[in-house]
Amino acid sequence: MERIFEVVMIGNTAVGKTSMLAALSMELDSYNISGDVSLEPTTHEFRILNNQWTDMGRKIEAQEPFSPLEGGLAGQLDFVEHKFDFKVDGETEARVLFTDTRGGMTGDLDERLIQRVNEAFGVFCVVDASVLMECSDSTNERFNCPKVVKRLLKEVYTDGDDKQPKFVTFVLTKCEKYMATANDRQKLAEKFLTKYDNIVDMLCNVNWPRVYLVAIQTMGCVSFYKLNKEGLPMFRVLPETEFKSKDCAIPLVILLDSLIDEIENSKSIWVIILNLLGIGKNLRDYKERIWNSIEKPSLSERLV
Ligand SMILES: Nc1nc2c(ncn2[C@@H]2O[C@H](COP(=O)(O)OP(=O)(O)OP(=O)(O)O)[C@@H](O)[C@H]2O)c(=O)[nH]1
Ligand SMILES: [Mg+2]
């Protein structure tokens, strides 16, 4: 008897879904070294992504300081699955699946995406913070498409079936410019709340998913430069900075928290078995290890 805990990435084209997963792969490599508890990727796709990300990092680091950021990991496939085994002493105790999606699936409100989200354990809704902070409302709508995201989540949470994700995490990406001081972080959170308040309110009134806000930067070596002719943000390479990501493990901590909660509080038979096997405790230890190694302060809060 086995259940896979699936988390679906949603968000329009180029907001940073795939980059976030790639950055997470680097984080996991470092947590998996120590101790006998690990979360290990088991799909080929994730190793490919990890390699692509490393290559891209090298190329960006080799770019001249202040030159515009080049390249990326544009998604072609509608769904790409990245499976992980949560292992204790080499034995698999639980399975986690991150499903990356093509941005157009969210933008076009694709029926298959709605279905997938409906069946998932959790959702990471990725939002481009530079567009949120620097662009007009109409550009934000075109790029981050909050109205479409609201419709998608509303369908999932009000369709009358008893299936829906246990958590929705809004992940703000490309946050380099907005995270330096406490004041910057507060402004970023405030801006998100003014632009997304109707989605958060809507989620308050449906079958209580937990709702979180997290801000990350997948590449610490670039930052917002200016708006291009189309009014979209351009980034440039910063002098003498490493490719290193920041705070990308926080979404993982949120997932682990929700898993622990599910295992400890659910009445279903398979969850009771997991509990008897002591899986909640192992997850808790693993989560603590990750949480303690995250550089703080960061921007992460539970909204609902
Ligand atoms: N400045 C900055 N740029 C980022 C960051 N993360 C991703 N990017 C850039 O954003 C662009 C889009 O990133 P992707 O990860 O491909 O976005 P996506 O949401 O997967 O896009 P699709 O798969 O096409 O829907 C790329 O050019 C990345 O280099 C970040 O933290 N900071
Ligand atoms: Mg992608």
Residue 169: CB within 6 Å of ligand 1? no
Distance CA 11, CA 107 (A): 7
Residue 106: CB within 6 Å of ligand 1? no
Query: CA-CA distances (angstroms) from residue 42 to 29, 45, 83, 142?
Result: 13, 9, 6, 35
According to DSSP H, which parts of 40-128 are helical?
A: 44-62, 103-107, 111-119
- Pair of tokens at residue 46: 């994730």
pTM of the model: 0.96
Ramachandran region, residue 66 (left: φ > 0; alpha: ψ -120 to 50; beta: rest): left
The total number of structural domains in the chain stands at 1
At 117-143, the pLDDT tens digits run: 999 999 999 999 999 999 999 999 999
Separation of 19 CA from ligand 1 center, angstroms?
A: 5
- Measure CA 55 to chain center: 21
Residue of the nearest CA to atom 5 in ligand 1?
174
Query: CA-CA distances (angstroms) from residue 258 to 2, 138, 264, 266?
Result: 18, 34, 10, 11
Separation of 62 CA from ligand 1 center, angstroms?
A: 19
From first to last of the 304 residues of the chain, give the pLDDT tens digit.
467 999 999 999 999 999 999 998 888 888 887 678 899 999 999 989 999 999 999 999 999 999 999 877 877 899 999 999 999 988 898 899 999 999 999 999 999 999 999 999 999 999 999 999 999 999 999 999 999 999 999 999 998 888 899 999 999 999 999 999 999 999 999 999 999 999 999 999 887 799 999 999 999 899 999 999 999 999 999 998 889 999 999 999 999 999 999 888 877 777 777 777 777 888 999 999 999 989 898 999 999 8
Residue 75: CB within 6 Å of ligand 1? yes
CATH of the domain at 169: 3.40.50.300
Residue 255: CB within 6 Å of ligand 1? no
User: Do residues 216 and 245 make contact, with C-beta atoms less than 8 angstroms apart?
Assistant: yes
Residues spanned by the domain of 91: 4-302
pLDDT of residue 2: 67
SS3 117: helix
pLDDT of residue 37: 87
Residue 18: CB within 6 Å of ligand 1? yes
